[in-house]
Structure 1
Amino acid sequence: MRGTRTACGEAERPSSSKTCWLGRGIAARRREGDMAHEGHLAGPRPSEDLLEAAHSVLRSERRRLHELGVAGELRLVGGASLPGLLTHGDIDLLLRVSAADFTSVVQRLGETFAARREDLWTPEMALFLIDPAIPVELAVVPEGSAQDAHFVRAWDRLAASAALRERYNRLKTTGGSDYNGRKAAFFEEIASDGPSHRRETARHTSRGDAIDPA
């Protein structure tokens, strides 16, 4: 479904919400974030090459978010978050905030970081480019939302299942023009709340930590 135009000049997402999801500060950085990301991703390599750097980034970004006054739970996700995965060299973070704070947190982060892939933003998810040099990307979601459950279930299940990690790695190595579609379908499947997935997740629940300056 195509969006309509909003008062702030951006295409409104198909939602009943009338919130203008991109303020002027975010809109000004949107193209900057997408362009800075282009050309940085290399071919897939073992996540073990990046695990130490990824955890270092996680710690430093927790400190930075604390300094910005942002409360929530920051987790490491993506190909560089688990041993045994392949990664293109980017580091992905997930920030889970209270539903009541989501809009204000997104606005605050938009004053500091470049917006990333605005076409994928929804009323339950915003994306930012934290560091274009690596690159480091941040997804922000409200706790308890469908998008939050999608992220948490998918990455907990990948951590718990060698078979899922093998499938993930096959996706990374096959590439092709339909890569993004196949990857989205894979994550939709493993994030589904079927009985077998619920049993698997119960055996292995990986939680992040609340933002703390330590």
Structure 2
Amino acid sequence: MKFQKSDMFRDKIEMDFVIIKDKILKVVNNVEVMSIGGAAIPGALTKGDLDVVIRVGRKKFPNALKALAATFKVHHKEMWNEDFAIFKDVSYSPKVDILVTVIGSKSDNLHKIQELLKENGKLLEEYNEIKLEFIDSKSKEYKIAKRRFYNKLRKILGFEEETIFSPPAGRQARLLKMI
């Protein structure tokens, strides 16, 4: 993996975000769409990819997933639950991940994590060190280290830690069948 300072990608990421946000809002409305991830944090190391979060009300979540699946590729089904889903826009390079969270749910913390990293230089430095440590390693090892770090941030913010995801069951399986 190759990382560079987010400032190198700022203009491109901002332009791509405007386009993706418009594309999303044509599919679902009454949602909040935000750019998150390393590329959206000044001084963070990033691959230059775009991560977007869509925050949606609980009642609208199933219909939003169905509408989004008609436009974007379903991604990481194993991570889906009753509050959270991931899509991917394959028409962009580098990749665009679209994370969908239910407002007020245990999964609705990505924007808070981003703000914490923007406000706390020491944590941002630690975030960058993790990226540098895994620059020549496999993606899986990096993702595990990043998940541990994000759990540390969740704990600081008073959120529940993310656990290892299990195969879809119950309501989660029904959500997946809808799309």
TM-score, reference length from structure 2: 0.79
Q: CA RMSD for the aligned pairs?
A: 1.8
Corresponding residue SS for 1:52: helix
Q: Does 1:157 align with 2:116?
A: yes
Moved over 4 A (4+): none
Q: 1:90 aligns with which of 45, 49, 55?
A: 49
Cα pair distance change 1:61/1:194, threshold 3 Å: closer
Cα pair distance change 1:194/1:70, threshold 3 Å: closer
Cα pair distance change 1:144/1:194, threshold 3 Å: closer
Q: Does 1:126 align with 2:89?
A: no
Instruction: Tell me the percent identity.
Output: 23
Contact 1:153–1:190 (8 Å) recurs in 2: no
Query: Within 2, Cα distance between the matches of 1:58 and 1:183?
Result: 23
Corresponding residue SS for 2:88: strand
Aligned length, in residue pairs: 154
Contact 1:93–1:139 (8 Å) recurs in 2: yes
Query: Within 1, Cα distance between the matches of 2:142 and 2:105?
Result: 26
Corresponding residue SS for 2:15: helix
Amino acid at match of 2:99: A
Cα pair distance change 1:137/1:67, threshold 3 Å: same
* Higher Cα radius of gyration: 1
Contact 1:51–1:82 (8 Å) recurs in 2: no
Amino acid at match of 2:95: P
Cα pair distance change 1:179/1:66, threshold 3 Å: closer
Amino acid at match of 1:133: S
Provide structure 1 residue ranges, at least 5 long, that are not aligned to the other structure.
1-41, 198-214
Provide structure 2 residue ranges, at least 5 long, that are not aligned to the other structure.
160-179
What displacement does 1:132 show?
4.2
Query: Within 2, Cα distance between the matches of 1:61 and 1:105?
Result: 16
Contact 2:61–2:102 (8 Å) recurs in 1: yes
Q: Does 1:145 align with 2:105?
A: yes
Contact 1:95–1:140 (8 Å) recurs in 2: yes
Query: Within 2, Cα distance between the matches of 1:115 and 1:169?
Result: 29
Map 1:63-212 → 2, pairs under 5 A: 63-130=22-89, 131-149=91-109, 151-175=110-134, 176=137, 178-193=141-156
